Chains A and B, each alone.
Chain A
Amino acid sequence: AASKTPRHPVLKKRDDFEDVLEERRRSSDLRYALRCYTPTLYKGLVPCKASMLKTIVLQSDHLQYVIKQVSSESGDSTECVAEEASLILDEMAHRLQLSTIRFFAFTLSKAFKRLFRSVCVNEEGIQRLQQAVQEHPVVLLPSHRSYMDFLMMSYLLYMYDLPLPVIAAGMDFMSMKFVGEMLRMSGAFFIRRSFGGDKLYWAVFSEYVKTMLRNGYAPVEFFLEGTRSRTCKSLTPKTGLLNIVMEPFFKGALFDVNLVPVSISYERILEESLYARELLGVPKPKESTSGLLKARRVLSEDYGSMHVYFGHPVSLRSLAEGKINRSQYNLLPRYIPQKPRVDTHEFLNDAAFRLVRIQEENMVLKPWVLIATLLLQNPDGLELSFLTEQTDWLRHLALAFGAFLDWPDHEACSEVISCSLALHRHLLSVSAGHVQLNVTDAPQVETTPEEAVFHRAVVVLSCASYRNQILHVFLRPALLAVAMQSANSNRKDDVYNCFNFLRNMFSNEFILCPGDSIQDFEEACYLLMKHGVLQVLEHEIVMSASGHSTLAFLCSVLDPFLQGYQVVCRYLCEETNENLTEKDFIPAVRSFALKLILAGRLKCCEALSSDLQKNALAALLRLKAVRKVKVGDQVTLKVNKIAVNSLEDTLGKSNVNQNSWCSSMAMLK
């Protein structure tokens, strides 16, 4: 059942939260860190020490097979290749130690109490996890917004006497000398960011993960999104690791695997402005211990509350029922690695998307998310009273669409809003009852126009990262709203075609399960119909008299993306360099967008976001409007200008109409 998109997301029942810091504020952290830890264990556990794990992996049939294969291909002796495998494993393997965990339990208790007002966890989810851990090997799939994520995960699992996970982490951490080793001892294992064709590396890595899973050694934790989302939008999931953890089930080595999506949301993200700068092309600071120490400044700030929601365990067996024919593995010895077949690949992809959608649905949204959405749509700011009124309106809309909103029950709306504004005061200016994004910094000496735009963009992108958290709630209705405007017709078929076009265009930008087009359309229709915005007849979709403002709002939600994609398209059409390399693409679009902004032809700062630019390029590549051509060791982009131009036109149509609509909304106000 978990594999199906809920048709009526509104009816979703969610668990209540408990603040885990409350107890920490009352009792000794030291005693807590040293307390007796007796985790619930998997019933099929094959007890084994970390050191034994290495032997099991190196002696596995699978690895032995690949070692022989690599040896015969490369001409190196098998001993030599085996030695290499052993080194890879040393570099990779975790060394989970309870003492390190206790150290973290102590220090993190201190840190979390300083950083957060509360850390809220759904305890029913914990109970479900306790059950799941005993029955089948567990894979924990948290969302990834911050470095805090996996520290918090292990911290919570320790707190609730659950087995500590082993965590797939990027190699970049290893450059942080001391911290890397600390993380290793708290259960992190390290994988290189890219090892494309390296058979041996892949074999060691996949066997390592599979062995831990099969033996029930520990829950395996990794991030479906692959990396931290800099935009707070969920990222298109990666399927590599998912394939590895599913394979033992496909091949019959496990009866089932419990996949547990976990949604971690922050009222204020620690890396907020860092991310915005990164999106604008300031390179991500290399992870270093000294950098982390500088980040101590972070500790003195207030990051509001944090929510961790443990979703229902998804049984891989039920997910794969009728989709994976496990007997396909009958005719080949199981230790011989096989590339996933087309249908397996489709299944992996589909499962990954569904799991990310579950993460999205269980992500707790704070009132600030609504406010940020409204502030971005009104760059000139709003009167506080109007903002309050609008936020309240938006709150009801969001709830009607099934948003998981954490709105304080017994507080006046204005109170809630002023609280949120206070927490995020560095992003805004409030003066004389007028609230505005802090886009016009006090003019500093020798600020170039470029720098001014850059400053504005940092604030806008920071703010957008909050709005992005609620996009998944509005996404489908918003696509429908835009589709209705650009279709210039009430015919359901026409609207659906437009909807499908937009959905296709944006499927690298948002989480849209491949093949779910009709379902998504129906969901959008259902939500808007239920909210009285539309009437959906047999062949027609008609806007209700009272639907204008909602539709206008929904269109504005997608507006930055429509504009951003158009900028990318226009750039590609106007670019004359035949040898545009993939590497140069982002800086070139950025400077193109910057020029438009400086010339006053573009208002939307979000077009500067490298994330959006990358996604747009991916979409164009997917739609075959742009091709990659390898020239020497450079990858250049070949643009089909006619195709790109026509895509831009179609996007423009959606946008122009929408602008007229926005003005109609302005009139209504």
Chain B
Amino acid sequence: MASNSSSSTAQQRLRIIAGHLQKRPEDEHPSVAAQECKAETSRSNPSSATPVPKRRQEIMKWNGWGYSDSRFLFNKKGQAEFTGKRYRLSGLILPSLKDWFEGTFGANLQHKSPATPTVNLSAVAPPDLNEPFVEDLKAAGVAMSHDPEDRVFRAHGHCLHEIFALREGRIGRVPDMVVWPSCHKDVEKIVELACKHNVCLIPYGGGTSVSSALECPREETRSIVSLDTSQMNRILWIDEKNLTAHVEAGIIGQDLERQLNECGYCTGHEPDSMEFSSLGGWVATRASGMKKNIYGNIEELVVHIKMVTPRGVIEKSCLGPRMSTGPDIHHFILGSEGTLGVVTEVTLKIRPIPEYQKYGSVVFPNFQQGVACLREVARQRCAPASIRLMDNEQFQFGHALKPQVSSIFTSFLDGLKKFYITKFKGFDPHHLCVATLLFEGDRGKVLQHEKQVYDIAAKFGGLAAGEDNGQRGYMLTFVIAYLRDLGMDYYVIGESFETSVPWDRVLDLCRNVKERIVRECKERGVQFPPLSTCRVTQTYDAGACVYFYFAFNYRGLSDPVHVYEQVEHAAREEILANGGSLSHHHGVGKLRKEWMKESVSSVGLGMLKSVKEYVDPQNVFGNRNLL
């Protein structure tokens, strides 16, 4: 979580981004007209209002995760370090990562599998443009491009197979052009023209999909237009009476949060991808935020949604907090994954920035005890803003990311803590696991709340293990995607996937899925045992969200991606067989389509299809997700 740490980090990041932008005076759309909110409160350079440039590849990797300046690498001494200046970890040495990496995967720093450095532009098929559409669009004054780099950038999300192909320089079907609407009206125009000229539209927000949702369908014969919402990124108004904000859907999480912070507010919606993912994307995939216990998931945060469909604009007529007007039309939009239209504007609930934030962590003797504790916390409905339980493997993984200790005293203290937990308390270092906590609110209540949670934890054998461990746990979630790129430099591939499951099945599901992964890898000729680890990331009244990491060393495999996909497929089968859901928040996309009927019944699927049929009979929104 980059922006949940402290406002100084946010400011620092802001300055860097501003710096990038200033270097690009040729930008066609400089800053958008100042909004009242920003005009009043923004203390920084107004150009920060458009942090996502149209040419994203200039600040972000074209074949990996995140900012180009931030990456893990093993330096000449074989020590891991994280480059750049954006994150807390940036510029630091991580002395134990190498041993963990080599030990866990059987990887070797001598065996490298580097990526193709630049896009092979000749591999990109020339655009198949629908000329009349292009002409009309030009006349309407909408920004567009058919530059191959722009198109390649929007042809993928961050599934393993997508990134793996890019690293190898393989490029499949890409959109034929990219358009950048700058407001709702632009989108209406684009959709109208798309219907008129029968082109295929694929909405593109932050590009962080992990469900193959952005992949261009191979069977699509029409011209494919990627509709990039990034320029629709303004906060249109803030209503302090009702605590709502009306925001354009292209805004990305960190900008939304920062700009609201500047006015003294926040949405509190912090999915792990919030540095890059967009508001519209959250709505379209039913996103979930880390702090949903206080603020709610996206469906609880939205008050009003405006979406442009081929049939016209869909929206409610008022901003009432709840209504009984038949099935909630928002629920046709939430999770529609770009198959029905483009979300252009959203009214969201906002909250005053909490006075006080505190991290924490609890060590449990084993995962069972940890889950029992989380269950009790959920039963008492006293979950802090965030509570996550990492299993032993992930706990060790977290430890490998400990930066170099600066003083002998700290290292002595660490040693002492370890001694206390393993020797004095008798925790087995190969079984213990850790829960990370984040409390938010006014100071008094936070401290009270903290005590309540630690008291419950104590009943399950949990020992408080400090703020530091907690904070490092959360750091893991945003650097993990960067770490995958490092792994891929050394023959290690991996990915995460998630599910939600009733409480009584959490343990069984975790164990069975992890074991299934290990077994499937073995059966498919993976030479070393894989990393197969999970954590419980969200608690609900009736169940929990479980997140799995799975990675392995693919040396000796002729088609590693295929093996990876087979194992992931088996793992999903196992999840479903153990009472888990098809997805908690990643969505279905094209990756998990095959299980939709089983998941929602054929009548359910039929209902969704009939909505699609009515809203978009021409299949203009032809990304073929979900159905």
A contacts, CB < 8 Å to B: 252-253, 255, 325-327, 329-330, 333-334
A252 touches B504 (CB 8 A): no
Interface 1/0 per residue, B508-539 and A, CB below 8 Å: 11011001100000000000000000000000
Given contacts A252-B509, A333-B504, 12 further A-B contacts (CB under 8 A): A252-B505, A252-B512, A252-B577, A252-B579, A255-B515, A255-B516, A327-B576, A327-B577, A327-B579, A327-B598, A329-B579, A330-B579
Q: Which residues on the A side are within 8 Å of B512 (C-beta)?
A: 252, 255
C-alpha spacing A334/B579, complex, angstroms: 11
- Binary CB contact string for chain B from 559 to 584 against chain A (1 if under 8 A, 0 otherwise): 00000000000000000111100000
Smallest CB–CB gap between A361 and chain B, Å?
26
Contacts of A333 in B (CB 8 A): 504
A1 CB to nearest chain B CB (Å): 13
Q: Within 8 Å CB of B579, what residues of A?
A: 252, 327, 329-330
Jot down 7 A-B pairs with beta carbons below 8 A, ordered by A. Answer: A252-B578, A252-B579, A253-B508, A255-B511, A255-B516, A325-B577, A329-B579
| Docked CA distance A329–B579 (Å) | 8
What separation, in Å, do the CA atoms of A326 and B512 have in the docked complex? 13
Docked pose: A68 CA to B425 CA in angstroms: 40
Closest to B515 in A: A255
B505 CB contacts on chain A under 8 angstroms: 252, 334
With both chains docked as a complex, state the minimum distance between the C-beta of B106 and any C-beta of chain A, in angstroms: 21
Interchain CA distance A333-B504 in the complex, whole Å: 9
Chain A's closest residue to B508 (CB) is: A252
* Chain B 484-517 per-residue mask, 1 if CB under 8 angstroms from chain A, else 0: 0000000000000000000011001101100110
State A255–B516 Cα separation when bound (angstroms): 8
Give B residues with C-beta under 8 Å from A: 504-505, 508-509, 511-512, 515-516, 576-579, 598
Closest chain A residue to B579, Cβ basis: A330
Minimum distance in angstroms from B571 CB to a CB of chain A: 13
Main secondary structure of the interface of A (DSSP, over half): loop
| B343: min CB distance to chain A, Å | 32
B365 nearest CB across to chain A (Å) = 13
**Alpha-carbon separation in the docked complex, A317 to B515 (Å):** 12
Give Cα distance in the complex from A123 to B505, angstroms. Answer: 39
Q: Which residue of B lies closest to A326 (CB)?
A: B577
Taking the closest CB of chain A, its distance from the CB of B501, in whole angstroms, is 10
B578: which A residues are within 8 A, CB to CB?
Answer: 252, 326
A252 to B508, CA, bound (A): 6
A327→B598 CA distance, assembly (Å): 10
Contact partners of B516 in chain A: CB under 8 A: 255
Per the bound structure, the CA–CA distance linking A334 and B507 in Å amounts to: 14
CB distance from B133 to the nearest CB of A (A): 45
- Contact (Cβ within 8 A) A334 B511: no
Query: What are the residues of chain A within 8 A of B511 when measuring CB–CB?
Result: 255
Q: Which residues of B contact A334 (CB under 8 A)?
A: 504-505
Could you tell me the distance in whole angstroms from the C-beta of B596 to the nearest C-beta in chain A? 14
Taking CB atoms, residues of chain A closer than 8 Å to B509 are 252
A255 to B129, CA, bound (A): 53
Q: Report chain B residues within 8 Å CB of A329.
A: 579
On chain B, the residues within 8 Å of A325 by CB distance are 577
Q: Bound state CA distance, A330 and B504, in angstroms?
A: 11
Task: Please indicate the chain B residues that have their CB under 8 angstroms from the CB of A255 in the complex.
Answer: 511-512, 515-516
Query: Which chain B residues border A252 with CB–CB below 8 Å?
Result: 505, 508-509, 512, 577-579
Give the Cβ gap from B524 to chain A, nearest Cβ, in Å.
15
Assembly CA distance A253 to B577 (angstroms):
11
Chain B: CB-nearest residue to A46: B368
How far does the Cβ of A313 sit from chain B's closest Cβ, in whole Å?
Answer: 15
- Please name all residues of chain B whose beta carbon is closer than 8 Å to the beta carbon of A330 when the two chains form the complex: 579
With a CB–CB cut-off of 8 A, which chain A residues contact B577?
A: 252, 325-327
Residue of A nearest to B577 (CB): A326
Considering the complex, give the chain A residue whose CB is closest to the CB of B513: A255
* Docked complex Cα distance between A253 and B512 (Å): 8
Nearest to B598 among chain A residues (CB) is A327
Considering only CB atoms, which chain B residue lies closest to A214 in the complex? B508
User: Top 9 closest A-B pairs, CB basis?
Assistant: A326-B577, A252-B578, A330-B579, A252-B508, A255-B515, A255-B512, A327-B577, A327-B576, A253-B508
| B508 neighbours in A (Cβ, 8 Å) | 252-253
Output the least CB separation between A59 and chain B (Å): 15
Complex CA gap A327/B577 in Å reads 4
Q: How far is the CB of B529 from chain A (nearest CB, A)?
A: 14
A326 to B509, CA, bound (A): 12
Contacts of A326 in B (CB 8 A): 577-578
A326 to B573 Cα, complex, angstroms:
10
Task: For residue A261, give the distance in angstroms from its CB to the closest CB of chain B.
Answer: 22
Query: What is the CB-to-nearest-CB distance from B477 to chain A, in angstroms, rounded to a whole number?
Result: 27
What's the Cα separation between A253 and B515 when bound, in Å? 13
Chain B CB within 10 A, most for which of A255, A325, A329, A334: A255
A252 and B577 CA atoms in complex are apart in Å by: 8
Q: Which residues of A contact B515 (CB under 8 A)?
A: 255
Chain B residues in 8 Å Cβ range of A253: 508
A335 to chain B, nearest CB (A): 8
Residue of A nearest to B507 (CB): A253
CA distance A261 to B353 in the complex (A): 65
Would you give the shortest CB distance from B506 to chain A, in whole angstroms? Answer: 11
Instruction: Give Cα A329 to B501, complex, Å.
Output: 13
